[in-house]
Amino acid sequence: MNKSIRTRAITGTALALAVSTVLTACGGEATSSSDTKAKSAPSTKAVAVKDPLVATFDGGLYVLDGGSLKLANTIELPGFNRLNPAGDGSHVIVSTDAGFRVLNATEQTFTGIEYKGAKPGHVVRHADKTVLFTDGTGEVNVFDPDVLAGGKKPQGRTYTAAEPHHGVAIELSNGELLSTLGTEEKRTGVLVLDKNNKEIKRNEKCPGVHGEAAAKGEAIGIGCEDGILIYKDGKFTKVDAPDDYGRIGNQSGSDASSILLGDYKTDPEAELERPTRISLINTETGKLRLVDLGTSYSFRSLGRGPNGEALLLGTNGTLHVIDPETGKVDKKIPVVDRWQEPLDWQQPRPTLFVRDHTAYVSEPGKRKLHAIDIESGKKVTSVTLPKSTNELSGVVAGH
């Protein structure tokens, strides 16, 4: 989700400024914030909601009903917080400056389950396992998300990278664990561990390694600054970018498609590159296709539809529905006003979250949240929230 290791000045307290020097401006980086030891209990008695969505705002979290988008509850939680589905039908992982916390979004309350550690980073769901990577320690935690329903912390697999770095890990259905290689200064590739955490393979031809996605047939794509690295059936395949520097740092996959959707950036010196091209990587043939959409986008713009459609929310305010096989834009759905990606990756911008047949799109400038039916292209409903939102996620069962 980012092009090179560069620092960004983060507005806020001196602590936030200090933390920002180890972040890269990609949106997949570790969390920085001020004090998150403040109140985190729901402000009112919560009534359970179905298929909840969760959105962050400056000062807390909104929990919304997934159908009506009605605001069900507000939870106070200071600082810059990040969201990811936990992998079951009730929980969401909230990343704070102190680590990962588990929110029961259905009941709108924190469970007390925490994975503490500085700079919590990527959360990956695959093969009925959820994997957390803590950048500040290099610790990887793997667990069965269904265990969260019991209210106790899952006793899962752990692994610690040789050195802390902004990384990512994913466990495959056969028990193999892929985890990135690197340091805080340089990231170089991926290693593969067996069920006993013994290294069995590695590939260090992936400079600036960042992000992952799984395609049909359990083909795993790992982003590089010169293309993408594919791991499938026990073998690595490097798909080179057509440019010397062709960074694919954000990827989105689907079990219904062998093709991965990625971003594509070509300027290693840019303070913030606003690309208009996306990458479509065929994990069966090893071919990479670039498609120019004529509009820029951000790291929160990529998603996949229920049938493997590639989805891209452009700064022109349009949701693009793309055939991953041909690169053709099958549908353009106007959703929000035109916008521009802010320089600071922690600042709000329209965000895409996809669940089943619905694309949820936030519009921070108007404090709105929209629900779009992907097949019909129609706006199902919209709501206006008390404050502008930043991150957007929700419960997603099964992965």
- What distance in Å separates the CA atoms of residue 325 and residue 323, rounded to the nearest whole number? 5
Residue 41 has what pLDDT? 41
Distances (CA, A) of 64 to 72, 106, 136, 151, 385: 5, 9, 32, 22, 10
Question: In the predicted model, what is the mean pLDDT of residues 348-375?
Answer: 98
Number of Cα atoms under 13 Å in the Cβ half of residue 372: 26
At 235-253, the pLDDT tens digits run: 999 999 999 999 999 999 9
Residue 83 lies in a domain: no
Q: How many domains does the chain divide into?
A: 1
- Is pLDDT of 8 > 50? no
Question: In the predicted model, what is the mean pLDDT of residues 160-176?
Answer: 98
Which is more confidently placed, 136 or 23?
A: 136
- What distance in Å separates the CA atoms of residue 295 and residue 305, rounded to the nearest whole number? 20
Instruction: Give the chain's mean pLDDT.
Output: 90
Residue 39 lies in a domain: no
> Alpha-carbon torsion 33, 100, 22, 81, what sign?
negative
- Is pLDDT of 255 > 50? yes
Residue 35 has what pLDDT? 39
Q: Which DSSP string corresponds to 113-125?
A: EEEE-SSEEEEEE
Residue 397 has what pLDDT? 83
Residue 48 has what pLDDT? 83
Q: Which amino acid type is present at position 307?
A: N
Number of Cα atoms under 13 Å in the Cβ half of residue 254: 25
Residue 285 has what pLDDT? 97
Structure tokens at 56: 């962050």
Burial of 14 by CB count in 10 Å (0-12 exposed, 13-18 middle, 19+ buried)?
Answer: exposed
Residue 3 lies in a domain: no
Which DSSP letter does residue 150 get?
G
Residue 381 lies in a domain: yes
At 270-286, the pLDDT tens digits run: 999 999 999 999 999 99
At 70-103, the pLDDT tens digits run: 999 999 999 999 999 999 999 999 999 999 999 9
- Is pLDDT of 12 > 90? no
Residue 220 lies in a domain: yes
Residue 101 lies in a domain: no
- Is pLDDT of 291 > 70? yes
Percent of the chain with pLDDT over 90: 87
- State the CB neighbour count (10 A cutoff) for residue 239: 21
Say which residues have a Cβ less than 8 Å from residue 167's Cβ, sequence separation at least 6.
121, 122, 133, 135, 138, 161, 179, 180, 182, 187, 209
Residue 45 has what pLDDT? 52
- What distance in Å separates the CA atoms of residue 287 and residue 300, rounded to the nearest whole number? 25
- What distance in Å separates the CA atoms of residue 391 and residue 12, rounded to the nearest whole number? 18
Residue 26 has what pLDDT? 46
Residue 191 has what pLDDT? 98
Question: In the predicted model, what is the mean pLDDT of residues 54-59?
Answer: 97
- What distance in Å separates the CA atoms of residue 383 and residue 335, rounded to the nearest whole number? 13
- Is pLDDT of 6 > 50? no
Percent of the chain with pLDDT over 70: 88
SS3 367: coil
Residue 93 lies in a domain: no
Q: CATH number for the domain including 182? A: 2.130.10.10
Q: Determine contact, residues 84/123, Cβ cutoff 8 Å.
A: yes
| pLDDT-derived band at 158, boundaries 50, 70, 90 | very high
Q: Please, which residues bridge with residue 352 across strands?
A: 361
Q: Which DSSP string corresponds to 287-313?
A: -EEEEE-SS---TT-EEE-TTS-EEEE
Q: Which amino acid type is present at position 157?
A: R
Residue 217 has what pLDDT? 97
At 202-214, the pLDDT tens digits run: 999 999 999 999 9
Could you tell me the pTM of the whole model?
0.88
Residue 138 has what pLDDT? 98
| pLDDT-derived band at 20, boundaries 50, 70, 90 | very low
Q: Determine contact, residues 78/13, Cβ cutoff 8 Å.
A: no
Residue 262 lies in a domain: yes
Residue 43 has what pLDDT? 42
Domain enclosing residue 377, as ranges:
110-394
Q: Which DSSP string corresponds to 8-66?
A: ----S-HHHHHHHTT--TTSSS----S---S--SBSS-----SS-EEEEETTEEEEE-T
